[in-house]
Amino acid sequence: MSKAKMVLCVLFSFVVAALLASGLPVKFTIGFLLAVLVGFLFISRPLVFLFGLFLLRPALDEFMVSVRVPLGGADMGLGGLISLVLIVGALFNCLAAPSGNRRLHHPLFYLYLIFCLTQTGAFFYSADSVGAIKVLIQYFSILAIFILVLKNVKTDRDMRFILNGAIFSAIIPLIIGLIKFIMVGEGRFFGSFQHPNILAYYLMVMLGIVYLRFDKGEEVPRISIPRFLYLGALIAALIMTGTRSGWFALMIMMGTFALFFNRKVIIPLLLLVTVLAFVPVVQERLNGLFGSYGSNVVIKETSSLAWRLQQWEGLFGYAKQKPWTGYGIKADVKFSIFEEPAHNDYLRYFIGSGVFGVLFYFMPYFYALLHFIKKVGRTGNLMDTKLTVFFVCYIPAFLIMSVSENLASYLVIHWYIWCFFGIYVSNLIFMKETGYGKEDNEEEYFE
């Protein structure tokens, strides 16, 4: 063993001993060990690091929030520190291997970078500077994910390796959620997440990639028994979250797939919707939304929709007074009569950073949607085809449900989506380098 390694081992041992002797909760020691492991894997095995990140991130959601570390007069969760590691790591990757930076020359990178810079400007006039810097770290961590995937995932084997991590990432959260549900015996299904809505939209992503078999180099629709059972467990968990908007988003995804890619699933989809209408938890959640007044169907005053409408009306009154610049990051919470986020991402960015905030946040997704729609039916390898189908089905649901949810704050979901964007662009480069589909792809995407 070299002297440098011996010194590092001694320092590591002293730090662990100090943490154990300090009387701090054990979770701080676990958090430190996890941070060391993350750093080691990032430096030595970036692909293994990305695989582990996308495999375990959902399972550690509550843990990452519960471990708080004092930093610059504020406290930050372990998840925030890992986001900082991702940002620093991506920057280091770009500086240490500048020859690979050409892979970043894609509109999605530049569009999301512009959004991050716009939000950086909004940080300087935010009333909640501590909260705003945490949000900024989240935004730049998403960009870091895109950079790290694009620069390190280069071959078809690499892509499937990372996608396997994403596909199996739902197993641990479902087991944790089942144990919690059995112990409590009632309430909504959280899994390993802080809130059932986050789990619902995470499951929506998982359902898409599991059904399309991103882990297999085969055509879609033949489903094996284990995959069928896995899909059934994901759907059951989504139902048990009680997230009505998540159910609606899944219907949009499945309906888009049925209409434009495989009309054989229209009848099974209709049967599924019919069966779900008789599930008690679905009936209970839907009955909690609407009521009757005479012969008219009305929104219940105590429902979450009524609360949202009241919230939006109040926030829009402030937003239209400063339509160009907004009031800064987290302005929706500042001006909310409920001290809650907007539950509408269009309004969130309108009141936070004005018209340009809304434009630059959604621009990458509108660009990607138009791009993928043009790609439908064109030459490409199997990975290209599956990613195209997924995004054509997913992005409309994402854009529609952003009207009623805080999807922009569901960081884990954005990590997966921008990982898939990175894999898609990497696959385009891979096809160009191998000459696959060169005639249809090279000129449009790389010049």
CB 420 within 8 A of CB 212: no
Helix, strand, coil in percent for the chain, rounding step 5: 75, 5, 20
CB 203 within 8 A of CB 246: yes
Q: Choose among 79, 92, 104: nearest CA to 42.
A: 92
CB proximity list for 22: less than 8 A, separation 6 or greater:
none
The CA distance from 35 to 60, in Å, is 13
The CA distance from 422 to 49, in Å, is 16
- The sign of the dihedral angle between the CA atoms of 216, 235, 260, 403 is negative
The burial of 214, by beta-carbon neighbours within 10 Å (0-12 exposed, 13-18 middle, 19 or more buried), is given as: buried
Residues of the chain with pLDDT under 50: 1, 4-5, 7-8, 438-447
The CA distance from 242 to 196, in Å, is 7
DSSP, collapsed to helix, strand or coil, labels residue 100 as helix
The burial of 307, by beta-carbon neighbours within 10 Å (0-12 exposed, 13-18 middle, 19 or more buried), is given as: middle
Q: Tokens in use for 411?
A: 């960081």
Instruction: Please tell me the total number of residues recorded for the chain in this structure.
Output: 447
CB proximity list for 68: less than 8 A, separation 6 or greater:
75, 76, 77
Q: Choose among 378, 383, 326: nearest CA to 355.
A: 326
Q: Choose among 368, 380, 378, 376: nearest CA to 417.
A: 368
| pLDDT, position 17 | 59
CB proximity list for 149: less than 8 A, separation 6 or greater:
50, 162, 418, 419, 422, 423, 426
- For 238-260, b/e burial (b = at least 16 CB within 10 A) is bbbbbbbbbbebbebbbbbbbee
